[in-house]
Amino acid sequence: MPWAPLGCGSAHEPAASSSEWTVVARNADAALLSVSGTAADDVWLVGADDGAGPLVLHGDGVAWTRDDVAPQGVLWWVQALPDGSVYAAGSAGSVFERHAGTWERLSTPARADATVFGVWSPGAGELYAVGAEQQGRGFLWHSAGGVWSEVPLPTGLPLDEHGAPPGLFKVWGASAADVWVVGDRGVILRGNARQGFARIASGSEEERLFTVHGAADHVIMVGGSANGWALEDGGAGLVDVSPPGAAPLQGVCVSASGELWTVGVAGNVYARAAERSEWRDEFPGVAVQSLHAVWLDPQGGVWAVGGNVLTTALDGGVALHLTP
C-alpha cells in the first residue's frame, strides 16, 4: 500500500486530544522509524520496507515525494543537515548519503548481519554510526574524509555469554569532540573517535536506552522496558527525569531553546518547557503501537513517527504533526 496523506479526525481513527495534531502520512505496510529536517517545509521520514524498498518520504506535511534509496531494506534513522545533505542508515550495515539530489550507499565496514540503528554527523563529511550484529554484538563506526574505521569500545561493558558487548542504538553529539552513544544494558558512552570513548554509569544494566539528544547545556536519553526511563545531564552528572507513570520511551528531541519532547509506547507523548518544569501529557489520541521518533522543527512544530515497531512486523506506519 502506498503512503497516503490524511487529515486530523479521519473516520478511521479516534479524534486527537488537541485539534492541532494532524496525521500527515500513513503506510499500512511499513512503519515509519525516524524523522528529521531543516525546516517545517523540509521534512524527511524514513522507515521499513513496504515491498518497494525502504520507505523514504520528503515534504512539508501536506505534499510528500517518495525517494527510491535501495531496492530493499529497513532504514532506522535519518539526519538532515543545513547544507542539504541527508544521511540514513539501516539494515545490512547500510549508511546512505543524499547530496545534490542523489542517494549513494557509503562503503561502511559492512557485515551482512549488521544493522545500523543510528547515524549522526557534525558536518564537514564526518560521520558516526552505531548498531548491532544479528547476535547482538554492538559496534561503533566512524568516518572522516570517506574513510571508515571501527572505534574500539571501552573496557568494562556488560558482556553476554559469548563475550559480546551490548547493541548500540543511537548516537548524537553536542560537537565533533563531544559525542554520546546509548544502547542495551543501560550503556552510555561519551567521547570521540580520536580520543576514545568512556563509559558513563547509568545506574542500570537491565534497562535499554533507545535514543539520545541534546541542546544548549544539557543532554537527555530515554528508554525503558516495563516503564519509561529518562536520564538528563545538565553538566553536573546524570539525573533521573522519567515522566511519572510513563510507558517505555523510544524517541526524544530537544529544541535549540531547551524545550524537550519524548514519545513512546501506545503513542504517548510528553513535553517539558525549557525551564525544566514538570512534564505535561501531549497524547495525540491516535491509535499506534508506538511512536519511535520525534523531531522539533525550527518553527516550533512537532513531528512524530511510528507504527508497529515492537515486533518484527514493522508495519502500520504513521506520521503526526503538531503545529505551533
Those residues whose C-beta lies under 8 Å from the C-beta of residue 155, and which sit 6 or more positions away, are: none
Give φ, ψ of 186 to 5 degrees.
65, 20
- Averaged pLDDT of the chain: 92
The predicted pLDDT at position 192 comes to 98
Nearest one of 244, 243, 249, 286 to 265, comparing CA atoms: 249
All domains of the chain in start order, with CATH: 26-60+70-322 (2.130.10.10)
Place of cell 504513521: 318
Is the pLDDT assigned to residue 217 strictly greater than 50? yes
Q: Model confidence at 324, in pLDDT bands (50, 70, 90)?
A: confident
Q: How far is CA 11 from the centre of its chain?
A: 30
Contact 309, 250 (CB under 8 A): yes
Q: Model confidence at 274, in pLDDT bands (50, 70, 90)?
A: confident
Rounded CA-CA distance 140/300 in Å is 32
Lowest-confidence region among 1-15, 26-40, 152-166, 228-242: 1-15
Is the pLDDT assigned to residue 14 strictly greater than 70? no
The predicted pLDDT at position 194 comes to 97
Contact 281, 241 (CB under 8 A): no
Q: Model confidence at 135, in pLDDT bands (50, 70, 90)?
A: confident
Q: Regarding beta strands 86-90 and 196-199, do their DSSP bridges make them parallel or antiparallel, or are they unpaired?
A: unpaired
Is the pLDDT assigned to residue 114 strictly greater than 70? yes
The predicted pLDDT at position 235 comes to 81
Buried-state track 6-31, b at ≥16 Cβ within 10 A, e below 16: bebeeeebeebeeeebbbbbbbebbb
Q: Model confidence at 39, in pLDDT bands (50, 70, 90)?
A: very high
Contact 187, 199 (CB under 8 A): yes
Q: Between 117 and 12, where is the model more confident? A: 117
Per residue in 54-103, pLDDT (tens digit) is 999 999 999 999 999 999 999 999 999 999 999 999 999 999 999 989 99
Reduced to 3 states (helix: H, G, I; strand: E, B; else coil), residue 53 is coil
Is the pLDDT assigned to residue 19 strictly greater than 70? no
Within 10 angstroms of residue 217's Cβ, the number of other Cβ atoms is: 10
Those residues whose C-beta lies under 8 Å from the C-beta of residue 312, and which sit 6 or more positions away, are: none
DSSP summary character for residue 2: -
